[in-house]
Structure 1
Amino acid sequence: MTRQAQRKEHPLSMRLPDTDIAIIDRAARLRGRSRTDFVRDAAVRAAEDVLMETTPIRMSAEGFDAFMAAVSGPATPVPEMVELFRRVAPWETDAASTGS
């Protein structure tokens, strides 16, 4: 007999002005999500961003030397990026400037 993992839920309550709720509901509808799912995902993403900004990166002295050598050396062109930057932007073409 398999046992399902019990879902642990912790309620979170917030008081928000109607304008904030309206914006959240509109965005959630555009994503096809419920308000709860939308707010939970946004809050978790924001929390992860903060943690990533403040979490120290640890490495060995040899690893640090290799990292510094890689970022201090000459840049290596990425062919796809070179090609992309050589393209004319759509708004810079003759068709865009003449409106046709």
Structure 2
Amino acid sequence: MSRAERKEHPLSMRMPETDIAIIDRAAALRGRSRTDFVRDAAVRAAEDVLMETAPIRMSPAGFKAFMATLSGPAAPVPEMVELFERAAPWESNASSSNVDTGSREEGASKRKIRSGKRR
């Protein structure tokens, strides 16, 4: 294979040691090499920029249909309705009965009193 046909191109950067340490730590958490981690992050960031600036093209009829859909009444999505009706894990009966608005306000006022004594 000649040099012109080479599919890999080196990329070199100078970075502070603290940045390298953060990258290495994150790469290790993902079980990736530094090179793989940085390459994937850079490509993902580049794709995001390109997608933000890519024009959306459609025919006049397609645009009319798109605008009609946006202007029409909203239809509920059953999965979203079910999700919003479900209690959050931290909103169980046991925890909500122990912590009410009054106890939160009491805690806040106690913190104010304590912080005032320190001065």
Provide TM-score, normalisation by structure 1: 0.87
Instruction: Choose between structure 1 and 2: higher helix proportion.
Output: 2
Structure 1: gaps spanning 5 or more residues:
1-5
* Identity, % of aligned positions: 82
Deviation at 1:94, TM superposition (A): 2.3
Alignment of 1:24-43 (within 5 A): 24-43=23-42
Deviation at 1:91, TM superposition (A): 1.2
Contact 1:90 1:96 in 2 (8 A): no
Say what the alpha-carbon RMSD is for the aligned residues.
Answer: 1.6
- Name whichever of 14-23 and 89-98 sits farther off: 89-98
CA distance in 1 between partners of 2:38 and 2:60 (Å): 41
Q: Which amino acid aligns with 1:26?
A: R
Structure 2: gaps spanning 5 or more residues:
99-119
Provide TM-score, normalisation by structure 2: 0.74
For these two proteins, the number of residue pairs brought into alignment is 94
Larger Rg: 2
Q: After the TM superposition, which parts of structure 1 deviate over 3 Å for at least 4 consecutive aligned residues?
A: none
